[in-house]
Amino acid sequence: MLFDYPTLKLIWWLLVGVLLVGFAIMDGHDMGVGTLLPFVGKDDVERRIVINTVGPHWDGNQVWFITGGGAIFAAWPLVYATAFSGFYWAMLAVLWALFFRPVGFDYRSKINNPTWRQTWDWGLFVGGAVPPLIFGVAFGNLFQGVPFHFADNLMPYYTGSFWGLLNPFALLCGVVSTAMITFHGAIYLMHRTEGAVQRRTQTAMLVFGSLLLLGFSAAGVWLWQGIDGYAIVSAVDAGALPNPLDKEVIRQPGAWLANYDKAPLTMVLPALAYAGTLAAMLLAVNRATLAAFVASSLAIVGVIGTAGASLFPFVMPSSTDLRSGLTVYDSVSSHLTLNIMLWATLIFMPIIIAYTGWAYKVMAGKVTAAYIRENDHAAY
């Protein structure tokens, strides 16, 4: 069964969102644990406890990151080309930070030397804290428009600078993203640990959960009061071949909130962000940590879903040439490509989810100091 072109464009907008959420939930809790590592583990045994909660899984969870990047490349080639041109140094910073993760996990325990191990602990911190910060900053810039335009031959030209990305609203979004991922990692770490490490992690969980709620609220108010959104005022042919220059776009106050008036059901998403965060905090304090992890995952769905619903149909608006802004309808691959990719996704994604679920089930349970001492020569 083949879907029509307009339907496929919307399906792939949803699927890219699912992959981003999957990355934030699965690889996000690994990054959150890495961010907390130097602070909740006070000696080598405690830090090895922290590392062993994610050590067996982190590389498998990278599948979501790779798949998400591949999906954007294949489904939204113009977005991929334009974003990696405009955010080139930011993306390189993410990759450089991520380099610390494989080498940190693999080399940290090779030498029994405090300086050596503490150095890699901070490397794992960088690998956990920097990517969500930069991804949040990138999302913040999307709401303000990215300084790029297309020539008549659809060659993209980026006219901004790396430092221009570090504006106040984007940095606030970076704080929201970092708080969200660290909060989620703290919930997972509480689920897998006990004793002093768990108590310190609970304190961190409450701090970052509160920061997430405050930052998310502040970003929403700022978006409502201080940032003009984008709106398409010309007719949109959802079934047409991609051509981002074939539309008329204006900026107007409150445009980023217009979708909530058009589709009131989308209000579920910001409500889910608040309810999921609060529920996760309450459940974690009462040691219902598995339920808390589910709740924090729903909070991530709410936060990322709110950003996507607010931007729709835009994917990457342009601040220098409004009509060059990329949308769900004019930045996609061909009808055939989207169909083939959809069926590949429907086949392989359940396999990935099933394998991941099995792996977590096999390696479930608390990581304790006794386990670390009994497995002193283990990889982590």
Kindly list the domain boundaries of the chain, sorted by start residue.
5-227+332-374
Model confidence over 190-233: pLDDT tens digits?
Answer: 999 999 999 999 999 999 999 999 999 999 999 988 899 999 99
Q: What is the pLDDT of residue 1?
A: 56
If one counts every other C-beta atom within 10 angstroms of the C-beta of residue 327, the result is 25
Q: What is the pLDDT of residue 233?
A: 92
- For the residues of 114-153, what is the DSSP string, one character each? HHHHHHHHHHHHHHHHHHHHHHHHHHHHHHH-BSEEE-TT
Q: Kindly report the CA angle at 128 between 284 and 210, in degrees rounded to 5?
A: 40
Enter the pTM of the model: 0.94
Q: What is the pLDDT of residue 379?
A: 66
Q: Answer whether 109's CB lies under 8 Å from 380's CB.
A: yes
Low-confidence ranges of the chain (pLDDT < 50): none
Instruction: Return the H-helix or E-strand segment holding 343.
Output: helix 335-362
User: Which residues have CB under 8 Å from 178's CB, separation 6+?
Assistant: 35, 129, 132, 133, 136
Model confidence over 23-56: pLDDT tens digits?
Answer: 999 999 999 999 999 999 999 999 999 999 998 8
SS (H, E, C) 227-294: CEEEEECCCCCCCCCCCCCCCCEEEEECHHHHHHHHCHHHHHHHHHHHHHHHHHHHHHHCCCHHHHHH
Locate 379 and state its tokens: 């990889």
**Alpha carbons 61 and 58: distance in angstroms, whole number:** 5
Residue 200, classed as helix, strand or coil, is helix
Structure letter (DSSP) for residue 155:
-
